[in-house]
Structure 1
Amino acid sequence: MTTNDRDHDIVLLGASGFVGRYTARHLARSAPDGVRIAIAGRSTARLDDVRRELAVDWPIIEVDTSDDAAVGRVAASTSVIATTVGPYLRYGAGVASASARAGTSYADLSGESIFVARSIERNHAVAETTGARIVHSCGFDSVPSDLGLGLAHAAAGGVPIVAATLTVRSLRGGISGGTIDSLRQQLKETKRDASTRRLLANPYALTPGPSVRLPGHAGSGWGKVRGTWQAPFVMGSYNQQIVQRSNYLTGWSYGQLMQYREVVATGRGPAGLARAMAIALGTAGLVGALAFPPTRAVVDRVLPSPGSGPSAEAIEHGRFVLEVDVYPVEGRPVRTRIAAPYDPGYGGTGVMLAESALSLALDDLPARAGVLTPMVAMGEHLAGRLRASGFTLDAGALPQAPGRRASEARRNAPDQRAA
């Protein structure tokens, strides 16, 4: 199926880790015959366990991400590197840079603003020169947000957007030790470098620097909309940075004044209010506890450790339903529904990363290079692959109450911010 002169089409780095195994499993099921896949990591024995479990004969590459020369050789040997080895602030910089220099496409699961901002600074120009597509955030961070908005924008006719909101309708699944460790490492970095604190809260942290002065952020997400309580979504601040980078990379096609936010719908009445308050306070409490060494030492005893996760049974019963509502400057509002019968942080993320790697390796993608986003790099190609793997990614006119005009919906869109 492939014609390049490299040894591999895809190298999966971190295949023996918790999410890595789900990614490898999906590759084993979904990769077409003839795709040359290798698995890589620090432990040959653990990688061999993965290979036996999946009954595949993929080559094994022993590599430590701290060994720049070895990582460079791996990058030069393959068309695509997909890596689950985080936190990326600690383990990802060398892999992304080696891929950029080698003209090798790269996909990861990063939800780390600091890491991605540094990757853009170090790798974007290099990757443009070599033709590499460096694509961060190819898991639940931030494929649903990025594709959801991009598909809705296309369905709305590609006109600029006034406001867009991602609403979590249903989410069932566990939190990974790797996700917690990524948050932990970012908070430690903010202690060492005060400028990174401002970066975490800036919707435009991943677009060109201080010359950009846009209003962008549509509020915290806390409040009540048409009788339903909602709370901020914990991943929203990072996801909006990815969405705005897609906006920037497409010439601000979504509109320079687009306001984007992400919320969790918690229901009506006192019970909905209680759930919203619990989510908001719980998120703030976790971040606060991890920010200070004394409290971090306490909560670390109960939080999942890196490389760990929930039981197979819990993951098996995971699922999620999200909606992205887009209010264009003209025409009817549009909604993208994103849903999958997978745990978002493990099974679903493994599918998203595996299909991203396959898309980068096999699809006839737009002629773009640099540090890209899933939507800009792969767009409808990735959406089609995910649909074939059981995802729902449907964009259409936003349902409205009888007699309600689209113009009214647009006027009311900013009112969906914090009450």
Structure 2
Amino acid sequence: MTESQREIDIALYGATGFVGKLTAQYLAGHPDITSGRARVALAGRSPDKLAAVRDELGETASSWPLITADAGDPASLSDLAARTRVVVTTVGPYAKYGLPLVAACAEHGADYADLTGEPNFILASMDGFHKQAIDTGARIVHSCGFDSIPSDLTVFSLYRRAQADDAGDLLDTDMVVRSMAGGASGGTLASAVEMMDACSADPELRRALADPYTLSPDRSVEPEFGAEPDVRWRRGATIAPELSGYWTGAFFMAMPNSRVVRRSNALLGHAYGARFTYSEQLSLGKSVAAPLAAAVVSGVQGASMSLGVRFFDKLPRPLVEKVLPKPGTGPSEKTRESGHYTVQTYTTTSHGARYRATMAQQGDPGYKATSVLLGESGLTLALDRDALSELRGVLTPASAMGDALAARLPAAGVRFEVERLH
């Protein structure tokens, strides 16, 4: 089906879930939607639940089509992808439910955006559908929420600024989560359980995910910088003079985020530079207890992969499912509104320049903030097509829509800035 024949610009699949509803609410109030620039549909398993969600969205959404689609019914997903320019999905865990939709979008040349923080799922998507998506012209864009847009876009923006200043390649680059508050996501925890389950059953997958370049399209051309550890504690001054006195520990999403960033560099022809390195940290303050906290946080993070998989394998699965929050659940509106995050990414270039990119949002990172990022990603893919990269296949936010998405974020309430420090 040609672009002009597609009747829907954005289909939100999983619209009845917790983050799905938040994303639907965001889209229903967006000027690009209220002005009629984009045609939106809601998709999911239950027509009645979809109708109930639509009824809550007000007049703007009253005419939105409802599409019945189910991960267990490939024909329904094929129909969804054939009718739609961009499919935005919140249905996870993605390793469990996501590949049939990726397959449908790759087959029909439909663009796709999700919220996955599961590198095992991205790896399966790459292995199964990257070439087909290139052939059909589909952009399969993973990790379009708090995982991993702040990581991916701050690095991309540093590259763009250094490029404009003729300041050379990026060298050591570090994202530091300066502040963050929000509730635990049932969907994120379910994804973590699925990933540990898969790793416990497949030692080869566990070894693959330990490779910092596991998502790179060609591992043989990547540099060898050693382990590039995702879990370590550091003095802030070793990252940037502006962090003197601070201590940092491992950020819990460093493993998937860092692999997405490295994939972006590879897909962009290693534009960041041949000696580019990347890591992520969580700021733990300046108190006398900060060094101990940094060591403990990093130690727990390290043990979670090296020992956690084997420990998880011994636990009764019903007990795990009973204790964890359920997918589709989330925090109260008060918690969602009071949440926030600020990340700062520092880099030094081969010409000796130093830069800092800052990205910040008000709203729970895993819920309100993520729904904004996902909604803007869908709108970017649907409406800003002339500003997107020429790349097709299984992509990352930066490699697919870096400039276009970065341009959208300030109007969406996201503080996004890059400054030269030296």
Report the TM-score, using the length of structure 2 for normalisation: 0.90
Q: Which secondary structure state, in structure 1, belongs to the residue aligned with residue 273 of structure 2?
A: coil
Q: Which amino acid aligns with 2:256?
A: Y
Moved more, 287-296 or 315-324: 287-296
Q: What is the match of residue 224 of structure 1?
A: 235
Shift of 1:145: 0.5
Aligned partner letter, 1:377 = A
Which sections of structure 2, spanning at least 5 residues, go unmatched? 238-244
Instruction: Give 1:371 shift.
Output: 1.0
| Contact 2:154/2:345 (<8 A) preserved | yes
Indicate conservation of the 8 Å contact 1:127/1:371, yes or no: yes
Sort the Cα spacing of 1:339 and 1:73 in 2 relative to 1 into closer, same or farther, 3 A.
same
- Choose the corresponding residue for 2:133, options 127, 131, 146: 127
Q: Is the 8 A contact 2:217 2:267 kept in 1?
A: no
1:116 is displaced (CA, Å) by: 0.4
The 5 A counterparts of 1:10-409 are 10-30=10-30, 31-32=32-33, 33-34=35-36, 35-55=38-58, 56-57=61-62, 58-157=64-163, 159-216=168-225, 218-219=228-229, 220-226=231-237, 227-283=245-301, 288=308, 291-294=312-315, 298=319, 300-363=321-384, 364=386, 365-398=388-421
1:402 paired residue number: none
- My pick for the range that moved more, 348-357 or 364-373, is 364-373
2:22 and 2:246 map into 1 onto residues whose CA distance is 36
The structure carrying a bigger helix percent of its residues is 2
The structural deviation recorded for 1:372 is 1.2
Contact kept, 8 Å, 2:25 with 2:57, in 1: the verdict is yes
With over 3 angstroms needed to count, the CA separation of the structure-2 counterparts of 1:331 and 1:285, relative to structure 1, is: closer
The whole-number CA distance in structure 2 between the counterparts of 1:308 and 1:285 is 28
Cα shift at 1:321: 0.4
> How big is the shift at 1:385?
1.5
Looking at structure 2, the residues matched to 17 and 89 of structure 1 have their Cα atoms a distance apart, in angstroms, of 17
Give, as a single letter, the amino acid of the residue that structure 1 aligns with 2:47.
Answer: T
User: Does the residue aligned with 2:173 lie in a helix, a strand or coil?
Assistant: strand
Q: Deviations over 1:252-300 (max 9, x none)?
A: 1112321100000101232323432453355456662772242765554
Mapped contact 1:234–1:283 kept (Cα < 8 A): yes
Q: Secondary structure at the match of 1:169?
A: strand
Unaligned segments of structure 1, at least 5 residues = 399-405, 407-419
Superposed CA deviations along residues 152-209 of structure 1, whole A, max 9, x for unmatched, are 1111126321110000000011121110111111111112221111122222111135
Q: Is the contact between residue 175 and residue 343 of structure 2 (CA under 8 Å) also seen in structure 1?
A: yes
How many angstroms apart in 2 are the aligned matches of 1:17 and 1:337? 30
Judge conservation of contact 2:232–2:298 (CA < 8 Å) in 1.
no
Q: Distance in 2 between matches of 1:193 and 1:281?
A: 24
- Conserved in 2, the CA contact under 8 Å of 1:139 and 1:353? yes
Secondary structure at 1:335's aligned position in 2? Answer: strand
CA RMSD after TM alignment: 2.0
- Structure 1 stretch displaced more, 176-185 or 150-159: 150-159
CA contact (8 A) 1:165 1:263 kept: yes
Please report the TM-score for the alignment, with normalisation by the length of structure 1: 0.90
Mean alpha-carbon deviation: is it higher for 203-212 or for 106-115? 203-212
